[in-house]
Homo-oligomer: A and B are copies of this chain.
């Protein structure tokens, strides 16, 4: 998917909601455990219930990988089920030396290799340029690079001062020499609104993927006020607050209600 297609979808749905498919077998409703693939059975209903309100879906790869080969089958079925107009994110936090990152890129971007055909993958920046650029070599595929994450550990290294400015600013500045707003996004936690204005100055046109609204406590209003640009420029992710709105047979209905509430708030900011 390209930049304009993504923006068109945001404008049409009046939404920049990304639904995080952090599907935990221990948290899904009990009645689904009798299905042959409970994780896919859950995801399918979540997708059906939220596709009207969401522009993107983000399976968190750890939740699938933890089930071995069967988990990768659930991931494949889930990805294939997501409507074509939706942007898809493999939240994998990969990154390794060049030849290895090339293999990870094939995993997520080349269906002839693994079967998967995601639009984007999250990548960790610690190993530098040659660990990121192999992911940028695919047309209409995106890297979403960790910049400033939503967790408490983000203060350990991302905020360390380098020449008087936090490390994450150097990550942003260097990364935008590797890829433009048409194929590079950044992860910025919703809990980091104090830094978001500065980030928008440094990367005015790039999309930001913002996790941390909902269960992690970030404010959608604040993130939207500071982060939106003329092409949307935001994908705001919610996972647990949507997926686990109910643990009963009404889980999909309640997920739809949560997604709709977020979408309606987003519509007022666009």
A163→B162 CA distance, assembly (Å): 8
Take A62-B100, A67-B114, A114-B67 as given contacts and tell me if A171 and B149 are in contact as well, using a CB distance cutoff of 8 Å.
no
Within 8 A of B (CB), among A58-109: 60, 62-63, 65-73, 76, 91, 93-101, 103-104, 106-107
Does A269 have its Cβ within 8 Å of any Cβ on chain B?
A: no
A95→B170 CA distance, assembly (Å): 20
Question: What is the interface size of chain A, counting residues whose CB is below 8 A from a CB of the partner?
Answer: 60
Is there an interface contact between B126 and A71, defined as CB atoms closer than 8 Å? no
Does A185 have its Cβ within 8 Å of any Cβ on chain B?
A: no
Is there an interface contact between B103 and A129, defined as CB atoms closer than 8 Å? no
Does A115 have its Cβ within 8 Å of any Cβ on chain B?
A: yes
Take A128-B152, A130-B153, A162-B161 as given contacts and tell me if A63 and B116 are in contact as well, using a CB distance cutoff of 8 Å.
no
Is there an interface contact between A71 and B154, defined as CB atoms closer than 8 Å? no
Partner of A129, one of B66, B68, B128, B153: B153
Is there an interface contact between A115 and B158, defined as CB atoms closer than 8 Å? no
Is there an interface contact between A94 and B96, defined as CB atoms closer than 8 Å? no
Partner of A151, one of B76, B127, B158: B127
Partner of A107, one of B62, B76, B114: B62
A107 to chain B, nearest CB (A): 5
Minimum CB distance partner of A154 in chain B: B128
Partner of A153, one of B62, B91, B128: B128
Minimum CB distance partner of A71 in chain B: B114
A104→B62 CA distance, assembly (Å): 5
Take A95-B93, A127-B146 as given contacts and tell me if A107 and B65 are in contact as well, using a CB distance cutoff of 8 Å.
yes
What are the nearest 5 A-B pairs in CB distance? Answer: A128-B153, A128-B156, A62-B103, A68-B114, A69-B69
7 CB contacts below 8 A, A to B, read: A60-B96, A66-B106, A68-B76, A69-B76, A93-B96, A127-B149, A128-B156
